[in-house]
């Protein structure tokens, strides 16, 4: 469909709690394709959430398979409609970045393993277990659906946020 512009912090849409998708109609299918196209076009992105392209619906895409951190442990390209984390286990800290906060990265503590329930792009209910970098990427994207950025998850804005190298 289309590569969409990424909404940048501090745009208030990024702090919005998104609405559930009631039916997988043509508008949702177009949104999914726009998210995939936008993620792929960025080249370095491992996920995009609907509010990052200005749509307050509970839809994300995640694909860590081309990242060195995720290439050996992933489910490929995930399209998640109305995703929910059912279980979390473990905790580790990792440096995260975000296309909506392009100039900074930050140290964020997240669960090492998650069980996630969602509808795929065909409307089929799925439950998967993700671990490592894929689990981190899923949690990061799902945060967007509830109005959270990685900046909201760092312990200290003074010691855990870093200006991205140009």
Specify the CATH architecture of the domain 12-163: Alpha-Beta Complex (3.90)
> What tens digit of pLDDT does each residue of 104-127 get?
999 999 999 999 999 999 999 999
Contacts 24+ apart (CB under 8 A), 94-97: 94/133, 94/136, 95/162, 96/136, 96/140, 96/150, 97/150, 97/164
Cite the DSSP H helix spans in 10-91.
Answer: 26-42
Domain positions in the chain are 12-163
> What tens digit of pLDDT does each residue of 11-55 get?
999 999 999 999 999 999 999 999 999 999 999 999 999 999 999
In this predicted structure, the answer to whether residue 165 has a pLDDT above a threshold of 90 is no
Question: Annotated catalytic sites, by residue?
Answer: 141
pLDDT band of 103, cuts 50, 70, 90: very high
In this predicted structure, the answer to whether residue 166 has a pLDDT above a threshold of 80 is no
In this predicted structure, the answer to whether residue 92 has a pLDDT above a threshold of 90 is yes
CA distance 15 to 62: 20
Q: Which comes out higher in pLDDT, residue 93 or 1? A: 93
State if pTM tops 0.85.
yes
Q: Percent of the chain, pLDDT > 90?
A: 98
Cβ atoms of residues 25 and 38 within 8 Å:
no
Residue 1 is predicted with a pLDDT of 73
Residue 147 is predicted with a pLDDT of 98
Terminal-residue alpha carbon distance, the chain: 31
Average pLDDT, the chain: 97
Cite the DSSP H helix spans in 1-131.
Answer: 26-42
In angstroms, the Cα distances linking 74 to 18, 53, 100, 122 are 26, 24, 24, 20
In this predicted structure, the answer to whether residue 141 has a pLDDT above a threshold of 90 is yes
């Amino acid at each position: 469909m289309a590569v969409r512009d990424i909404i940048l912090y501090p745009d208030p849409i990024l702090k919005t709690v998104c609405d559930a998708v009631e039916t997988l109609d043509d508008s949702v299918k177009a949104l999914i394709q726009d998210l995939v196209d936008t993620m792929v076009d960025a080249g370095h992105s491992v996920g995009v959430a609907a509010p990052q392209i200005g749509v307050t619906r509970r839809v994300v895409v995640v694909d860590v398979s081309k990242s060195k951190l995720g290439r050996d442990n992933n489910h490929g390209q995930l399209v998640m409609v109305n995703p929910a984390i059912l279980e979390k286990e473990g905790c580790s800290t990792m440096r995260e970045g975000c296309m909506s906060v392009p100039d900074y990265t930050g140290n964020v503590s997240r669960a090492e393993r998650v069980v996630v329930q969602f509808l795929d792009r065909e409307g089929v209910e799925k439950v998967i277990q993700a671990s490592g970098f894929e689990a981190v990427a899923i949690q990061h994207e799902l945060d967007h659906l509830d109005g959270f950025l990685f900046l909201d998850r760092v312990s200290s804005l003074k010691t855990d946020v870093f200006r991205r190298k140009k």
